[in-house]
Chain A
Amino acid sequence: MRDEAEMVFGKSTKVRWVFWGLLAACLMILAADFFQEKRGYVPWEGWKGFQSGFGFLAGLVVVLLAHGLRRLVGRGRDYYER
């Protein structure tokens, strides 16, 4: 897995920089949420950190469900030509 990640992202130092930089940005933007009064028409829109948690969970759900979908519907490129 690590080899593949390095192959995809480039050198492992770059991977670490991207990850830690993004994590720092996430934490800063999450902290900003606590200094901002939030209002919304949807009840849960005003919860502190709602969009952060929702975005993260949505990312996980999309990718994990997509894995299952691929097993179900993935076929060879020549499936319809056969």
Chain B
Amino acid sequence: MSASWPLFPFPGMALVAGGLLLPLVPRGLRGPVMLVLPVLGLLQLVALPAGTSLSLDVLGLTLEVVRADGLSLIFGYVFHLAAFLGIIFSLRIRDLGQQVAALVYAGSAIGAVFAGDLLTLFLYWELTAVSSVFLIWAAREEGAFRAGLRYLMVQILSGMLLLVGVVLHYQSTNSLAFGHLGLESPGGALIFLAFGIKCAFPLLHTWLPDAYPRATVTGAVFLSAFTTKLAVYALARGFAGTEFLIWVGALMAVLPVFYAVIEDDLRRVLSYSLIVQLGFMVVGVGVGTELALNGTAAHAFGHVLYKALLFMAIGAVLHQTGTARASELGGLYRSMPLTAWFCMVGAASISAVPLFSGFVSKAFITSATAQAGHHLAWTMLLFASAGALLYVGIKVPYLAFFGRDSGVRVAEAPRSMLVAMGLGAALSVVIGVRPQLLYGILPFPAGYNPYTPGHVLGQLQLLLFSALAFVILYRRGWYPRMVPSINLDFDWIWRRGLPRAWQFLARFAAPAWHRGRSASGTILRRALDLLQCHFGPGSRLARIWPTGSMVLWVVVLLALSLLVSYF
């Protein structure tokens, strides 16, 4: 154990403890106190050398409650940055419940990435689930409450699967160490599934676009940063090099693109695009080489910042106008020019425009995928990159801030929100322009240069020509119009499909059941009557028979059995 930890023994503890004690802080001081907490946590991490480990013996189990290495530290750094930006963004929102939930949520996610054993991971895993749901419920709407319940059920299911997997793993290996697990390890498949739910694997993803757009303006910023990136970290720690993940990630990168194009709610567009970016990271984990894992870590780092920036920009629009629907927005650059600029920086980053952060980190992953010989997966990632420009790079800033003038005139976003967006935008540009700053904190030595002429040229071609396709389609009126609507996703199965199947059964099977019951009741009654007739009081078999006649019948039966045995 290192003796140089200045403040709290556990990473993330400053935020969790600060969040729980926040109600005791005078209202006027809560903002400054909240701002200090991630700074203290970040200082703690800076003082925490890689290779540090802290173990505790609890109930006969040895738990490595803190394990700091290159992989956990980069996630720890960016989680602190995200918490800091989120807190600045939310300074205007004086809702104690949200403030406590956000701090505990951020702190538990940080604690989870430093967990060296599976049981500690499980505890933090559940704490992120329980604390984060309050950021959805804090919207105080019926729809948000229901979405929060669905979100909580899915997150708790993930936690339960993780717990069962951990128990099976411990029974077989007598170890709780959280290192490389692999699908074939005892309990590995269940742990993989638990991580997959939180990482929004295909068909397990619906909780994300269902819940995040229902969260509060500031809650969505926090939600976008922690849960899914914690899952990416867990996959990188436990399942790096699992080839199955390459195809899972490639599907994650491609399938949500189509939903993002037709979606009207811009925060839901960002939710689908979040899954696309997770797909890149999951592919990196699946490839599993040092370059690929560096790419996953770098992409997670950059993505946390620019995705938070995009959620902040659209959140600011929602805060000022009361809507985040593209069909009700347009022309807002006149009212919110700075927010529009920051949104465009986020859009350029997610579209991997050279000199923005997404370009650097995506290049790591696509190069590693190609080097490993996964040509089809590489092509799918290229498709997702082209799509990213269409559904976020152009669509989100264009439909919100430019395009058709909706006539909405509002004030620019509050200063605290602008400061947070400005910092997020600056960090996205700095990473894009000086990627060497990021290389220093990557888990493995990075000797990769994304700024080769061939790569820059290829990326510019991809982006410019997909933009050309957008303009042509828009001019022709073939780009899907934004109309107030929702799009059914796979969660339709349990939100409508299964209840309808049950109603169908109730409607058609119930009468048959009742008819069956009445028919069987009749048969039963007749059988009882028959028994009553022959064995009931006063019936023939219930009479008292003389002993002689009993002996006579026994003799008759014996004679019959003799005859049968002879023949």
For chain A residues 45-82, which have a beta carbon within 8 Å of chain B? 45, 49-60, 62-67, 69-70, 73-77, 79-81
Q: Is the CB of A36 within 8 A of B453?
A: yes
> Which chain B residues lie closer than 8 Å to A77 at the CB level?
484-486
Q: Give the interface centre of A9, A49, A56, A57 by most chain B CB atoms within 10 Å.
A: A56
22 A-B pairs (CB sep. < 8 Å): A2-B475, A22-B468, A38-B454, A42-B375, A50-B458, A51-B457, A51-B459, A51-B461, A52-B462, A53-B465, A55-B461, A55-B463, A55-B466, A56-B465, A56-B468, A59-B469, A60-B469, A62-B390, A63-B470, A63-B480, A75-B486, A77-B485
Give the contacting residue for A69; candidates B259, B475, B477; CB below 8 A.
B259
Q: Name the CB-closest residue of A to B496.
A: A80
Give the contacting residue for B457; candidates A36, A43, A58, A74; CB below 8 A.
A36
Known: A54-B386, A70-B480. A29 touches B461 (CB 8 A): yes
Known: A22-B467, A74-B262, A75-B485. A62 touches B387 (CB 8 A): yes
Q: Is the CB of A25 within 8 A of B464?
A: yes
Q: Name the CB-closest residue of A to B367.
A: A41
For chain B residues 368-389, which have a beta carbon within 8 Å of chain A? 370-371, 373, 375, 378-379, 382-383, 386-387
Docked Cα-Cα span, A76 to B475, in Å, equals: 26
> Which chain A residues lie closer than 8 Å to B477 at the CB level?
1-2, 4-5
Q: Name the CB-closest residue of A to B484.
A: A77
Known: A9-B474, A19-B475, A73-B489. A33 touches B461 (CB 8 A): yes
Q: Give the interface centre of B462, B476, B481, B489 by most chain A CB atoms within 10 Å.
A: B462
Q: Give the interface centre of A15, A26, A62, A81 by most chain B CB atoms within 10 Å.
A: A62
Give the contacting residue for A22; candidates B262, B453, B471; CB below 8 A.
B471
Docked Cα-Cα span, A63 to B367, in Å, equals: 27
Q: Is the CB of B473 within 8 A of A32?
A: no
Shortest distance from the beta carbon of B366 to any chain A beta carbon, whole Å: 9
Q: Is the CB of B485 within 8 A of A65?
A: no
Residues of B that sit less than 8 Å from A by CB: 143, 257-259, 261-262, 367, 370-371, 373, 375, 378-379, 382-383, 386-387, 390-391, 403-404, 453-454, 457-481, 484-489, 495-496
Apart from A55-B466, A60-B469: 5 A-B pairs, beta carbons within 8 A: A1-B476, A19-B472, A55-B464, A59-B466, A69-B259
> Which chain A residues lie closer than 8 Å to B453 at the CB level?
36
Q: Name the CB-closest residue of B to A41.
A: B370
Q: Is the CB of B470 within 8 A of A70?
A: no
> Which chain B residues lie closer than 8 Å to A40 at the CB level?
370, 454
Known: A58-B386, A70-B262, A77-B485. A63 touches B473 (CB 8 A): yes
Q: Name the CB-closest residue of A to B386.
A: A58
- The 3 A-B residue pairs with the shortest CB-CB distance, nearest first, are A59-B469, A55-B465, A1-B477
Docked Cα-Cα span, A43 to B376, in Å, equals: 11
Shortest distance from the beta carbon of B147 to any chain A beta carbon, whole Å: 10
Docked Cα-Cα span, A2 to B478, in Å, equals: 11
Chain A: number of interface residues, binned into ranges: 35 or more
Docked Cα-Cα span, A8 to B398, in Å, equals: 10
> Which chain A residues lie closer than 8 Å to B261 at the CB level?
62-63, 66
Shortest distance from the beta carbon of A33 to any chain B beta carbon, whole Å: 6
Shortest distance from the beta carbon of A36 to any chain B beta carbon, whole Å: 6
Q: Mark A7-41, 1 if CB is under 8 A from B, else 0.
A: 11100000100110011011001101100111111
Docked Cα-Cα span, A62 to B254, in Å, equals: 10
Shortest distance from the beta carbon of A63 to any chain B beta carbon, whole Å: 5
Q: Is the CB of B469 within 8 A of A8?
A: no
Docked Cα-Cα span, A63 to B516, in Å, equals: 54
Q: Is the CB of B487 within 8 A of A70?
A: yes
> Which chain A residues lie closer than 8 Å to B460 at the CB level?
29
Docked Cα-Cα span, A8 to B383, in Å, equals: 26
Docked Cα-Cα span, A70 to B383, in Å, equals: 20
Docked Cα-Cα span, A59 to B463, in Å, equals: 10
Shortest distance from the beta carbon of B448 to any chain A beta carbon, whole Å: 13
Docked Cα-Cα span, A69 to B488, in Å, equals: 10
Give the contacting residue for A42; candidates B379, B467, B469, B496; CB below 8 A.
B379
Docked Cα-Cα span, A71 to B474, in Å, equals: 19
Shortest distance from the beta carbon of B275 to any chain A beta carbon, whole Å: 15
Q: Is the CB of A62 within 8 A of B257?
A: yes
Q: Is the CB of A29 within 8 A of B466?
A: no
Known: A1-B477, A36-B453, A73-B488. A41 touches B387 (CB 8 A): no
